[in-house]
Amino acid sequence: MSSGADMTDENPSPPSGRERLGETLKKPLSRGQVTAGVLLAVLGFAATVQVQEIGQSDVYSGQRQEDLIQLLNSLAAASQRTENEIAQLEQTRSSLRSDTDSRRAALEEAHRQADVLGILAGTLPAVGTGIVVTVEDSSGAVGTDQLLNGLEELRDAGAEAIEINDTVRVIAQTSLTDGLNGVIVDGVRLSPPYTIKAIGDSHTLAQALDFTGGFTDAIELPGIGGKVLVKELDNVEIATTRAPAPAEYAEPLQNE
């Protein structure tokens, strides 16, 4: 015959609700449980929003029709004013962008014009397609007449920058005189062989020196005995520059 203590061990009392909840929380959550929890949270949020909207609707449920119409008209007027302000702000923004773009374009054009004028005036170095002309003069018979003709032919052919012997930048005011065993270009004495660099359309510049009776023929005449070698290049660098000379008589015309 079993004792009372043995009967208690064989039939333990069922766990309480708190104990079952504790055991459940100790177990790792499954994917289904997580999903169910998220859905319950979303449903709870939706229910809260619904209650709030119903509460707000109750505020206007007791209003008269005339009051509601006036309220709607006020809201419509406020909305129209807001749209007008937005339109004005967008127009102002577009105007500012347009003014900024115009100023930027004008500034870029001014810089471009300054670069062009600087190259033509010889105040800036230049690089581009062009030719390199080597004039050999073993007899010393090549002088200012031949070189000046060559420079003029290059200018007429569209040369944008010209340099002689990597020393003198040729500009509109450049002067040449004959000197002892060479020529004097803008006060600088140069001796043969003469190297002339010119930037422009390389083929056009080369053809400008090679026509019948032109620069090459004049240098290679029997009485001169010189030799001309022309190379067309994709990249000619002219590093020599000139300091801008102040105008002695002319001055800018002021626009009224």
Q: For the segment 157-196, what is each residue's pLDDT rounded down to a tens digit?
A: 999 999 999 999 999 889 999 988 899 999 999 999 999 9
Look at residue 45 and tell me if it is in a domain.
no
Look at residue 94 and tell me if it is in a domain.
yes
Query: Backbone dihedral region of 166: left (phi > 0), alpha (psi from -120 to 50 degrees) or beta?
Result: left
**Are the C-beta atoms of 195 and 133 separated by less than 8 Å?**
yes
pLDDT of residue 128: 96
Nearest of 193, 192, 209, 121 to residue 157 by alpha carbon:
209
**Are the C-beta atoms of 145 and 177 separated by less than 8 Å?**
no
The CATH number that applies at residue 199 is 3.30.70.1880
**Are the C-beta atoms of 235 and 127 separated by less than 8 Å?**
yes
Could you tell me how many helices (H) and strands (E) the chain has, helices first?
Answer: 7, 8
C-alpha separations of 125 from 4, 74, 177, 243 in Å: 115, 70, 25, 12
Nearest of 172, 134, 139 to residue 155 by alpha carbon:
172
The predicted model scores a pTM of 0.60
Asked whether residue 231 falls in the same domain as residue 133, the answer is: yes
Asked whether residue 132 falls in the same domain as residue 230, the answer is: yes
Asked whether residue 116 falls in the same domain as residue 139, the answer is: no
The token pair that represents 216 in the structure block: 């090459």
Nearest of 163, 242, 254 to residue 200 by alpha carbon:
163
Give Cα 160 distance to the centre of its chain: 26
Asked whether residue 160 falls in the same domain as residue 76, the answer is: no
* End position of a domain, from candidates 94, 121, 148: 121
Asked whether residue 159 falls in the same domain as residue 175, the answer is: yes
pLDDT of residue 1: 45
Which is more confidently placed, 255 or 126?
126
Look at residue 163 and tell me if it is in a domain.
yes
Q: For the segment 192-241, what is each residue's pLDDT rounded down to a tens digit?
A: 999 999 999 999 999 999 988 889 999 999 888 999 999 999 999 999 99
Asked whether residue 76 falls in the same domain as residue 110, the answer is: yes
Strand-pair partners of 128:
236
Which is more confidently placed, 246 or 47?
246
Asked whether residue 182 falls in the same domain as residue 229, the answer is: yes
Asked whether residue 133 falls in the same domain as residue 117, the answer is: no
Residue-wise burial string across 181-190, b where 16 or more C-beta atoms lie within 10 A, e elsewhere = ebbbbbeeeb
Look at residue 133 and tell me if it is in a domain.
yes
pLDDT of residue 199: 97
Q: For the segment 78-126, what is each residue's pLDDT rounded down to a tens digit?
A: 788 888 888 888 888 887 778 777 888 788 888 888 888 889 889 999 9
- Total structural domains in the chain? 2
Residue-wise burial string across 227-248, b where 16 or more C-beta atoms lie within 10 A, e elsewhere = ebebeeeeebebebbbeeeeee
Give the domain range for residue 75.
63-121
Look at residue 80 and tell me if it is in a domain.
yes
Asked whether residue 174 falls in the same domain as residue 70, the answer is: no
How far is residue 212's CA from residue 192's CA, in Å, rounded to a whole number?
A: 24
How far is residue 98's CA from residue 86's CA, in Å, rounded to a whole number?
A: 18
Strand-pair partners of 188:
185
- pLDDT interval class at 39 (50, 70, 90): low
Q: Averaged over 125-145, what is the pLDDT?
A: 94
- Return all residues near 215 (Cβ < 8 A) that are at least 6 apart: 146, 149, 150, 153, 208, 209, 228
Look at residue 49 and tell me if it is in a domain.
no
Asked whether residue 130 falls in the same domain as residue 210, the answer is: yes
* End position of a domain, from candidates 102, 121, 140: 121
Look at residue 246 and tell me if it is in a domain.
no
Look at residue 83 and tell me if it is in a domain.
yes
Give the H/E segment covering residue 255. none
pLDDT of residue 177: 94
Asked whether residue 152 falls in the same domain as residue 230, the answer is: yes
Asked whether residue 88 falls in the same domain as residue 177, the answer is: no
- pLDDT interval class at 76 (50, 70, 90): confident
